[in-house]
Amino acid sequence: MTFLFYIFAALAIVGGIGVVLNRNPVSSAFAMIVSFLGLAALYIQLDAYLVGTLQILVYAGAIMVLFLFIIMLLDIKSEEGRQFGVFSTAGAVVVAGGMLLIVAKVLKNFEAGEKALTPLKGAAAETTDVSAIGELLFTTYWFPVQVIGMLLLVATVGVVVLSKRELR
């Protein structure tokens, strides 16, 4: 089963690299969808079925559609012809390489995976994970859910004010 992990992880990474290196914005968006597919499969492998399914439904389904609508509003020719200078490429390589080195060093000194996290208590242990998440969301974590409601409300107001052609 672990060979599947390597395949999906490679898919996610290749998709990510494709997002960055593609000239055409539409190709970048499709590479991102491939990366999300790999991520969703990784979530399923971790037994997080709801999160994996929502990754496809919401991220690849709704958010990438939004991205593509925005790309539709851009001028593709000028985006394809965009050049990056030497300094910014060098800076990107240095930052990414530095981050990689730091994470590698931290993982070397840290025995991850040896400790198991405490399993979910209570009824959540016997039901499906969707039901368990529903229980946690609306009993223990009910207050953050209301703040998220406020966040979505503010986003709606922002969308209407910033992108309607004429306001009412």
Partner 1 sequence: MPAYALEIIVFSLGLVLLLVDAFAKLEDKRSLAWLGMLGLVVVFGLLFKVEPRAADDANVFWRFYSDSRMSLFFKGIAILSTILVLAMAIDYRGLIEKFTAPAEKKAHPQAGLGEFFALPVFACAGLMCMASATNLVSIFVSLEAVTITFYVMVAYMRRNVGSLEAGVKYLILGALSTGFLVYGFAWLYGITGSMDLAEIGAALKSGDVSPTAALFAFSLILVALGFKVGAVPFQMWIPDVYQGAPTPITAFLSVGSKAAGFIVLLRLSAVFLGSEAVAGQVAMAFAVVAGLTLIVGNLTAIPQSNFKRLLAYSSIAHAGFLLTALAAAPRKLEAGQLSSATVVAFYLGAYLLMTLLAFLVVGLVRVHRDSEEIEAYRGLGKSSPFLALALLIAMASLAGVPLTAGFFGKFFVFQLAIQGGHWWLVTLAAIGAGAGFYYYLKVVAAMYWDDPTGAAAKAAAIPVSALTRAAVVTLIVLIVIAGFAPRMILGLIG
Partner 2 sequence: MQQEFIPVLIQIVIATGFAVATLIASVLLGKRAKRNQMKDSAYECGMLPIGEGQARFSVKFYLVAMLFVLFDIEVVFLYPWAVSFKRLAVDGGQLVVFFSALSFIVILFVAYLYALRKGALEWKD
Residue ranges that bind partner 2, judged by CB under 8 A: 4, 37, 41, 44-45, 47, 49-50, 54, 57-58, 61-63, 65-66, 69-70, 72-73, 75-77, 123, 127-128, 130-135, 137-139, 142, 145-146, 148-150, 152-153, 155-157, 159-160, 163-165, 167-168
Q: How far is CA 166 from the centre of its chain?
A: 33
Question: What does 66 interact with, of partner 2, partner 1, none (CB < 5 to 8 A by kind)?
Answer: partner 2
Nearest Cα neighbor of 145 from 134, 156, 154, 159 is: 134
Cα dist from 31 to 13, 18, 64, 78, 99, whole Å: 10, 5, 11, 20, 23
- 83 or 118: CB nearest partner 1: 118
Q: How far, in Å, CA of 121 to CA of 111, rounded?
A: 25
- 78 or 109: CB nearest partner 2: 78
Cα dist from 9 to 5, 12, 92, 95, 100, whole Å: 6, 5, 22, 22, 16
Stretch that binds partner 1, among 33-41, 72-80, 88-96, 99-107 (CB under 8 A): 99-107
Report 68-97 residues binding partner 1 (CB under 8 A). none
- 1 or 152: CB nearest partner 1: 152
Cα dist from 133 to 48, 142, 162, whole Å: 10, 12, 34
Give me the half-sphere count of Cα atoms (radius 13 Å) on the Cβ side of residue 156.
6
Stretch that binds partner 1, among 48-56, 64-72, 78-86, 160-168 (CB under 8 A): 160-168
Residues that bind partner 1 (CB under 8 A): 102-103, 105-106, 109-112, 117-118, 139-144, 147-148, 150-151, 153-155, 157-158, 160-162, 164-168
